[in-house]
Amino acid sequence: MGRIIIPGHAHDHHLHTPDEDGIDRRGFLNCMAWAGAGMAWVAASGVLKSAPLPRLDQTADKRLAAGDFVFAQISDSHIGFSKDANKDVVSTLQAAISRIQALPVAPDFLIHTGDLTHLSKPDEFDTLQQVLISAKVGQVFYVPGEHDMLADDGRQYLDRFGKGTRGHGWFSFDHKGVHFIGLVNVVDLKAGGLGNLGGEQLAWLNDDVKSLSPSTPIVVFAHIPLWSVYPEWGWGTDDGAQALGYLKRFGSVTVLNGHIHQTMQKVEGHVTFHTATSTAFPQPAPGAAPSPGPMTVPADKLRGLLGLTDVTFVKRSHALAIVDHDLA
Amino acid sequence: MSTRRTRLNALAISAAIVAITAIYGTSVHAGQGNPPAKAVAIEIDNFKFGLVSIDVAVGTTVTWTNRDDVPHTVVSVKKVFKSPPLDTDEKFSYTFKEGGTFEYYCSLHPRMTGRIVVK
């Protein structure tokens, strides 16, 4: 039985912490200390309820306990895009970086879940790297989106970001007891299909996790959602279920994706799925428009629909608290 | 001029035009020995190929034009043709010199599919 949490629009923070039996009251209040004004939708026992997040004491202790850490996720920067939906994607990317630098706890690293560029052009990759280097955000881990693999079957991307990765750019690393896995599901896409991991990557994944203890928290990140968000628009991964099968025995699995340019979240047992907004342009909600293309909104509304995500690993509960921030 | 003569003049002129066209047309066909090649335009819009499945004659040139705000590609499943990434208003053309059924799709958004049947 899963709980579905769908953030409302025009909010600043959205928070979810998965617990084995659901969010208990104390855990909920601790979580709320991280949130500001906004709306939270929570489904409990199949009933959707919404409530404004309470404004709590602004001096609430935001220091981390020992063993906790924060990392940030940005996605879909689409450097090179310049159409009605956003004529200055570099500026909105910089706004996202500023928000990261203003977080109460500095992230240990940044994850970019793909579509770094719009057309895989060298100057687009150059610009992205320059913005991130000058922002001094520290180490950045990348997985490509389909827009990054347009040149020479991904050569541009791999030449820059492929070091230490396998195949089309997949890899894993450990950080303070959490195992992070970057997957590539945007290559060798089949006609009529969705995202694709492929046999070689799946075999690698199975091998990568097989000797980890089930209490190891796992964070998987990939561009296209690994779960079926909206197949009609290609928002899913054909062999995603197989990957999740290899992770079934783990007590805490968090799946972070991009591609759909809006936040969406689902909890299924021990697995939390979360998608991030873009730093470049929003896309419509599933089925709300004829196609999933860039959505043009009034200029004063744009930054409210772009953003980043920060994730806190809470060691005592082996859980990850996910907070979305917009750029308004 | 009388109405009758005007009408006869008009008729003569029309007949002459028809005769000249016929002669000209015939000589072109005689010179080439083949029917003129066709061109078909397909617009890519809202993540769809405007003509999803079409029948064309051998020798037809199909031109795809992308009208979306995101790039698309045109890639044949049998790997017979493959466009570069097409940004907004960019085009890709392919001339079908052989018969057959050619399924194709967008490699960025693979749910977008189309078919050309060449006879």
Please check whether residues B9 and B57 belong to one and the same domain: no
B-chain CB neighbours of A146 within 8 Å are: 107-109
Q: In the beta sheet, which residues pair with residue B70?
A: none
Q: Which CATH number covers residue B113?
A: 2.60.40.420
B-chain CB neighbours of A233 within 8 Å are: 47, 111
- State pLDDT tens for residues A60-72: 345 788 889 999 9
A interface test, pick of B107, B112, B115, B116 with most A CB neighbours within 10 Å: B107
Domain A65-326 has CATH 3.60.21.10: yes
Tell which wins on pLDDT, B68 or A35: B68
Please check whether residues B43 and B16 belong to one and the same domain: no
Please check whether residues B52 and B109 belong to one and the same domain: yes
Could you give the ipTM of this predicted complex? 0.78
Please check whether residues B100 and B60 belong to one and the same domain: yes
Q: A46 φ, ψ to 5°?
A: 80, 0
B86 pLDDT band, cuts 50/70/90, is very high
Would you state the pLDDT for residue B114?
Answer: 98
| Average pLDDT score over residue span B41-61 | 96
Would you state the pLDDT for residue A22?
Answer: 44
Identify the segments of chain A with pLDDT beneath 70.
1-62
Q: Kindly list the domain boundaries of chain A, sorted by start residue.
A: 65-326
Would you state the pLDDT for residue B15?
Answer: 56
Please check whether residues B53 and B96 belong to one and the same domain: yes
B113 and A CB contact within 8 Å: yes
What mean pLDDT, rounded, does chain B reach? 83
Would you state the pLDDT for residue A73?
Answer: 97
Please check whether residues B91 and B59 belong to one and the same domain: yes
Would you state the pLDDT for residue A294?
Answer: 97
Alpha carbon A163 to its chain centroid, in Å, reads 22
Vertex A228, ends A226 and A232: CA angle to 5°? 125
What is the C-alpha separation between A39 and A34, in angstroms, rounded? 14
Tell which wins on pLDDT, A20 or B103: B103
A118 and B CB contact within 8 Å: yes
Would you state the pLDDT for residue A23?
Answer: 44
Supply the range of the domain harboring residue B59: 39-118
Number of domains in chain B: 2
- State pLDDT tens for residues A267-320: 999 999 999 999 999 999 999 999 999 999 999 999 999 999 999 999 888 789
Please check whether residues B100 and B73 belong to one and the same domain: yes
Would you state the pLDDT for residue B26?
Answer: 43
Contact A4, A318 (CB under 8 A): no
Which residues are CB-neighbours of A56 under 8 A, at least 6 positions away? Answer: A29, A32, A33
Q: Do A192 and B111 touch (CB under 8 A)?
A: yes
Would you state the pLDDT for residue A174?
Answer: 98
Please check whether residues B30 and B47 belong to one and the same domain: no
Please check whether residues B54 and B22 belong to one and the same domain: no
Would you state the pLDDT for residue A11?
Answer: 36
Closest by Cβ to B110, choosing from A118, A189, A291: A189
Please check whether residues B52 and B86 belong to one and the same domain: yes
Please check whether residues B71 and B103 belong to one and the same domain: yes
- Record the pTM: 0.80
Amino acid (1-letter code) at residue A309 = T
